[in-house]
Amino acid sequence: MSILEIRNVLVERGKREILSEVSVQVRTGELLVVLGPNGSGKSTLLRVLGGLWQPSSGSVTLDGRALPAFSRREIARRIGFVPQDTHVDFAFTVSELLAMGRYPHRGRFSSETPADRAAIHAAAEQCDIVPLLDRSVDTLSGGERQRVLIARSLAVQPEFILLDEPTANLDIEHSLEVLELADALAAKGAAVVLASHDLNLIANHATGIVLLQSGKVIANGSPEEVLTPVRLEQVFRVRTELSEATDGARSFSFQRLPQSGLPSVRGKSVAGPAGSRS
C-alpha cells in the first residue's frame, strides 16, 4: 500500500492565503473526493498533492519520503494529474496524445514498445475513446477532450490519479461513466483523488470526503460522516434535505437560504441520485 500525504500545509499566493493548515492522507485503493464551493482551494490542494505547487509551509510525502526528494520523472510515473482546463496547441491525434502519457516510462525520443501500446489501448478502452484514436484533438467536443485527457493520465499507469473537476464538461451519462471508471480504478488498487462541488454526482462513489471551505478542512471522513445537512448548510449556504433509495443510494435536494435584502426562494432545486457504487 502506498500513501500520499500532506501535513499542516499552508499555501500563500501574494498576500492571499489559499490553503491553511490542511492535512490530508490518501491511500491506494481509495476514491477520495475533495468537495467544496468554488474558490475553496480544491484545485490548489490537488496541485500540492501532485507536487506541482510547493506549499509555503508544511510537508508533502509519498510513502513517508518528502515529495521534492523524488525526481520529476519518478513523480510523473507515480502520480497522474488531470487539470480542469488543458489546452493542446498542436493538432495531435488522440493516439499521439495518449502516447505522450508514456514519456515518464520511456523518454520523449525513445521508440514505442509493446508495453506502451498495450497501456495506451487499455486506457482508451477504459475511457471509451477507441473510436476517437485517429481523430485530431482540436476537433473534439469538450466532453470528448476531457475523456482523452483522463485516458492520457491512465496510460502512465500511476498509483495516484488526481482529477480536477473531471465531470465539469460532461453530460450526465459520461459523468457517471467517469465516476464508475474512478470506482474501478480504486477497486484495482489505484488511489483516485477527485475534486468536485457536485454532491449528487459523488455522494455514492466516494470512499472518503475532504470538505473544504475558504482553504480550511471543515470535515474529513466517510460520506455519511461528512455530508450532513447541518454541515452542508454551513459550507454551501443552502438548506439541504437528504433522501435514501431502497438500494442505499443517497441524494440531496437544496433550497437557497434567504439573504438580507433579497426575497426568499420558495422552490427547491433538486438533482437526481448519483446511483449506487459500481
pTM (2 decimals)? 0.85
Q: Is the pLDDT of residue 44 over 60?
A: yes
- Which H helix or E strand runs over 7? strand 3-13
Q: Is the pLDDT of residue 270 over 70?
A: no
Q: What is the pLDDT of residue 199?
A: 87
Point out which residues pair with 253 in neighbouring strands.
241, 270
Closest CA to 27 of 163, 204, 193: 193
Give the range with max mean pLDDT: 146-150, 173-177, 227-231.
227-231
Type of residue numbered 179: L
Q: What is the pLDDT of residue 225?
A: 92
Could you give the percent of the chain with pLDDT greater than 70?
89
3-229: what fold? Rossmann fold (3.40.50)
pLDDT tens by residue, 94-144: 999 999 888 777 766 677 788 888 989 999 998 889 999 999 988 988 778
Please state the rounded mean pLDDT for residues 9-28.
Answer: 94
Q: What is the pLDDT of residue 259?
A: 67
Q: What is the pLDDT of residue 51?
A: 95
Q: Is the pLDDT of residue 276 over 50?
A: no
pLDDT tens by residue, 164-211: 998 887 788 878 888 888 888 899 899 999 999 888 888 888 999 999
Task: Kindly indicate the confidence band of residue 40, based on its pLDDT and cuts at 50, 70 and 90.
Answer: very high
Closest CA to 197 of 162, 243, 153, 164: 164
Q: How many C-alpha atoms does 185 have within 13 Å on its Cβ side?
A: 34
Type of residue numbered 39: G
